[in-house]
């Protein structure tokens, strides 16, 4: 176990769990949503604004930060915390999904991923060992292993090849990470093929990582397939370890995953959709560009006490989007993050007091 790292489950309701993730930079109640700061910043928001909403952990992307500005620059600042002014914990994704997205200009080998940088076209090779060094330079509180992400609808042979390579890379990552006092999470791959997911979960659990993620979902498979994979795979992961569902999702997706035993989540939806004029509200999604918001002298979400809803009206936010002022997207993103933070806090309370099933039904009905 990494220095200062730990996890305990405090309450359960069915398979849903309320726990506490302990890091060197503080304790994180779970279920926990991690805002995405790919390049070391939450697009348009100050670190203190996210902290004020109650977030204790954010996500960065080691792949992108390695390419720009470079891990060696970040290391000079004492890591990403010093570089970006974030006082909480940081989890860094290794870049498996980014390599997947570059599939037209990359090749994979046992050594690692070979590709051209999307920024300057330079030839690059990312190996498990390099990936671990990058995340050590960044000083990630939680590092992720390098993996190959296959589409959720991949055929069996393709998914099996990616799963086996990911497992071999994970073991190399663990070996390269040995002197790093921070935590390391493994990633279970296997597409929508449960036999492969089971095999990956068993292989990785035997290697005794600090935590386990389910990757390679929301990339081609159906919602029903995703729910089934999450439920069956979570059941195969160590109960005493944190479980992280990568890149998911919408509020109902998070509820579904919590119901199936997952603890941690990340997704670009709250900030990206906010910049596009969509608010997540207690009553459902509100589209700020819509005519019904023009001149409306009511809070964006009347059931929300976030800084945006306390101060501004729907009519004002509609105006900001109509004139193209960047403040509109910034305020909408701030509200959406507040919504997600409140959602996970409500889920946690419901697990603890035995009302999770009722709350889950209410959230799904508003999607």
Q: Which residue among 3, 93, 224, 301 is the active-site one?
A: 93
Token pair for 151 = 């589409």
Main-chain dihedrals φ then ψ at residue 36, nearest 5 degrees: -95, 120
Return the SS3 of 342: helix
Instruction: Give catalytic status of residue 48 as yes or no.
Output: no
Helix (H) or strand (E) holding 345: helix 326-353
350/38 Cα distance (integer angstroms) = 31
Catalytic residue among 137, 141, 263, 266: 266
What Rg do the C-alpha atoms of the chain give, in angstroms?
20
Give the strand order in the sheet containing 89-93. 32-34, 264-266, 243-245, 211-214, 183-188, 142-144, 89-93, 57-61
Largest CA distance in the chain: 60
Residue 250's alpha-carbon distances to 41, 67, 259, 279, 285, in angstroms, are 21, 29, 14, 12, 11
Identify any residues that bridge with 6 across adjacent strands, giving them in sequence order. 22
Sheet-wide strand order for 6-13: 6-13, 16-23, 26-30
Phi, psi of 346 (to 5 degrees): -65, -40
Distance CA 48, CA 37 (A): 14
Q: Measured between alpha carbons, how far is residue 350 from residues 21, 118, 302, 356, 363 in Å?
A: 18, 44, 22, 4, 12
In a 10 Å sphere around its CB, with 0-12 CB exposed, 13-18 middle and 19+ buried, how is residue 322 labelled? middle
Question: The tokens 């590709």 sit on which residue?
Answer: 115
Q: Is 253 a catalytic residue?
A: no
Q: Report the candidate in 328, 331, 287, 288 with the shortest Cα–Cα distance to residue 309.
A: 331
Positions marked catalytic: 93, 266
């Amino acid at each position: 176990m990494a220095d200062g790292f730990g996890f305990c489950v405090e309450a359960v309701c069915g398979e849903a769990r309320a726990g506490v993730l302990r890091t060197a930079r503080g304790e994180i109640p779970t279920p926990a949503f991690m805002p995405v700061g790919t390049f070391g910043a939450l697009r348009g928001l100050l670190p203190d604004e996210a902290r004020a909403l109650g977030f204790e952990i954010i996500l960065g992307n080691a792949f992108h930060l390695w390419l720009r500005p470079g891990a060696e620059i970040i290391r000079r600042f004492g890591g990403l915390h010093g570089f970006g002014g974030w006082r909480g914990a940081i989890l860094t994704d290794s870049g498996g999904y980014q390599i997947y997205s570059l599939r037209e200009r990359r090749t994979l080998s046992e050594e690692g991923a070979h590709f051209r940088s999307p920024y300057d076209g330079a030839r690059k090779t990312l190996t498990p060992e390099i990936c671990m060094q990058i995340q050590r330079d960044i000083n990630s509180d939680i590092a992720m292993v390098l993996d190959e992400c296959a589409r959720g609808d991949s055929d069996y042979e393709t998914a099996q090849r990616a799963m086996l390579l990911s497992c071999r890379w994970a073991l190399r990552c663990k070996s390269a990470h040995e002197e790093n006092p921070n935590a390391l999470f493994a990633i279970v791959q296997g597409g929508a093929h449960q036999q492969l997911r089971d095999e990956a979960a068993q292989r990785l659990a035997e290697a005794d990582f600090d935590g386990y993620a389910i990757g390679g979902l929301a990339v081609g498979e159906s919602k029903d397939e995703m729910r089934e994979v999450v439920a069956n795979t979570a059941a195969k992961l160590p109960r005493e370890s944190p479980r992280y569902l990568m890149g998911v999702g919408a509020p109902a997706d998070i509820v579904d995953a919590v119901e199936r035993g997952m603890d941690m989540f990340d997704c670009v939806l709250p900030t990206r959709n906010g910049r596009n004029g969509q608010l997540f509200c207690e009553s459902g999604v509100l589209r700020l560009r819509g005519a019904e918001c023009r001149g409306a002298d009511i809070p964006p979400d009347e059931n929300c006490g976030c800084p945006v809803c306390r101060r501004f009206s729907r009519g004002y936010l509609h105006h900001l989007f109509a004139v193209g002022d960047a403040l509109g997207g910034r305020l909408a993103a701030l509200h959406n993050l507040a919504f997600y933070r409140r959602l996970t806090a409500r889920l946690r309370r419901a697990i603890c007091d035995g009302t999770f099933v009722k709350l889950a039904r209410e959230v799904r009905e508003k999607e």
